[in-house]
C-alpha cells in the first residue's frame, strides 16, 4: 500500500527526473548533437522478419484482427525501453550525486518502478505469448537497470534478485558494465551512442533509426495526434500526474457522462493535438469548463475510453503512464484519500 507521503515523494522524484531529461536534451541541442529516436515501416519490417518464427503462440492466443496491433505495441514497447533505459540510468545517477536531498524520494520511487518492471518481465500471461526475442531483450534491459540500482545504492534494494531467478542477470550485468564504461566521460549527446551500443549488444540495431534534431521543431506546433512516440514517451511522467486527477474526476461521473467525455475529447483531437506544448488551449465540454493542454486532452480521452471500452485501441501509447497512475489511484482510495 502506498502512503500519501510515499506518493508525494514519488511525484517529486518523477518531476526531478523529467527536468533532468529536458536539461540533457537542451545541452545536446545547444551542442548540435541532439537526435530523435524513431521507427519507420522499414524498421518495422526488419523487426517482424526477425521475430516471425516466434509469433505462433501469440497468434493462437489473440484474435486475428488484434494480432497486428499487439505486435506493433510489443515492438514499440521494447524500442521505448531500449531508448529510455540507458538515458534514465544517467539521469538517476545525476539525481543521486547532484541532488542528495532527493534521496528518499528517489529510493521510494525506484522501488515502485522496479516492482512494475518485474511484473512486466515475469507475468505468466506475458511470458506465454511475447516473442522470445522481445521478452529476453526486455528482461536483459531490466536486469541492467537492476544492476545499476544495486550499484548506486550498495545493494540495499536487492533489485537484482528477481532477474537472477529469471536467468537474465549475466546479460544484464554485461550491459551495465558496458553502460558504466561508455558513460565515464559523457559529453552532450553522447548518451545516444550508448543506446547504439545497447542495440548492437541486443541485436536490435535495425529496429530503429535516428533523426537529426536541429531544434526547428520547437518553433512549429506539431499537431500530429500521437505520431511522435519518442515525444510521448518523454511526456510519460507528466501524463501520470494528469491521469491521477482525471481518474478522480471520472469516479464522480456516471457511465453516460464518461461516454460523452470520451466522445468530446475525441472530437477535440480529431485534427491533432499539440501535446508537446504546456499551453492550455483546449476544452472538453463534458469534462468541465477548465482549459486543458494537448497532453491533458489525450489523457482524458485515453482514461475515458479505458472506462467505457477497455478493449478499444485508440492508438495513443499512454498505457504505462495510465497503469502507474491507476495503481496509485487505487491505493489512495484504499487509504480513503
pLDDT in tens, 284-329: 988 988 999 888 988 998 898 888 777 655 567 788 888 888 888 8
134 pLDDT band, cuts 50/70/90, is: very high
Q: Is the pLDDT of residue 131 over 60?
A: yes
Most confident of 21-25, 106-110, 278-282, 319-323: 106-110
Contact status, residue 261 vs residue 250, Cβ threshold 8 Å: yes
Contact status, residue 49 vs residue 207, Cβ threshold 8 Å: no
Beta bridge partners of 209: 38
Q: Is the pLDDT of residue 152 over 90?
A: yes
Q: What is the pLDDT of residues 181-232, one digit of tens each?
A: 999 999 999 999 999 999 999 999 999 999 987 554 443 334 334 445 555 5
Q: How far apart are CA 331 and CA 109, in angstroms?
A: 15
Does the predicted TM-score (pTM) go above 0.85?
Answer: no
Average pLDDT over residues 37-65: 90
Contact status, residue 326 vs residue 247, Cβ threshold 8 Å: yes
Contact status, residue 230 vs residue 43, Cβ threshold 8 Å: no
Contact status, residue 192 vs residue 36, Cβ threshold 8 Å: no
Task: For CA atoms 319, 325, 329, 335, give the dihedral sign.
Answer: positive
Amino acid at each position: 500500500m502506498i502512503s500519501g507521503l510515499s506518493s508525494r515523494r514519488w511525484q517529486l522524484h518523477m518531476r526531478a527526473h523529467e527536468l533532468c531529461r529536458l536539461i540533457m536534451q537542451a545541452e545536446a541541442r545547444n551542442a548540435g548533437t541532439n537526435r530523435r529516436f524513431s521507427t519507420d515501416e522499414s524498421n518495422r519490417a526488419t523487426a517482424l522478419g526477425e521475430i516471425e518464427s516466434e509469433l505462433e503462440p501469440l497468434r493462437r492466443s489473440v484474435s486475428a484482427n488484434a494480432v497486428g496491433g499487439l505486435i506493433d505495441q510489443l515492438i514499440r514497447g521494447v524500442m521505448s525501453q531500449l531508448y529510455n533505459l540507458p538515458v534514465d540510468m544517467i539521469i538517476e545517477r545525476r539525481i543521486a550525486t547532484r541532488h542528495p536531498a532527493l534521496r528518499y524520494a528517489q529510493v521510494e520511487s525506484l522501488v515502485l518502478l522496479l516492482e512494475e518492471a518485474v511484473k512486466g518481465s515475469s507475468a505468466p500471461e506475458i511470458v506465454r505469448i511475447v516473442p522470445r526475442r522481445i521478452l529476453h531483450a526486455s528482461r536483459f534491459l531490466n536486469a541492467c537497470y537492476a544492476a545499476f540500482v544495486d550499484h548506486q545504492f550498495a545493494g540495499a534494494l536487492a533489485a537484482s534478485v528477481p532477474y537472477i531467478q529469471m536467468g537474465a542477470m549475466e546479460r544484464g550485468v554485461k550491459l551495465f558494465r558496458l553502460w558504466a564504461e561508455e558513460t565515464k566521460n559523457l559529453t552532450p549527446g553522447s548518451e545516444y551512442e550508448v543506446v547504439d551500443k545497447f542495440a548492437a549488444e541486443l541485436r536490435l540495431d535495425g529496429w530503429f533509426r535516428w533523426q537529426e534534431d536541429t531544434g526547428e521543431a520547437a518553433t512549429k506546433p506539431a499537431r500530429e495526434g500521437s505520431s511522435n512516440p519518442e515525444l510521448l514517451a518523454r511526456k510519460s511522467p507528466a501524463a501520470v500526474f494528469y491521469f491521477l486527477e482525471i481518474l478522480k474526476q471520472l469516479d464522480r461521473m456516471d457511465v453516460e457522462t464518461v461516454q460523452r467525455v470520451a466522445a468530446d475529447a475525441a472530437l477535440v483531437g480529431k485534427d491533432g493535438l499539440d501535446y508537446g506544448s504546456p499551453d492550455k488551449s483546449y476544452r472538453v465540454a463534458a469534462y468541465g469548463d477548465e482549459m486543458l493542454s494537448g497532453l491533458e486532452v489525450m489523457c482524458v480521452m485515453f482514461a475515458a475510453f479505458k472506462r467505457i471500452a477497455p478493449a478499444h485501441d485508440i492508438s495513443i501509447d499512454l498505457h504505462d503512464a495510465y497503469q502507474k497512475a491507476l495503481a496509485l489511484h487505487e491505493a489512495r482510495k484504499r487509504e480513503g484519500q
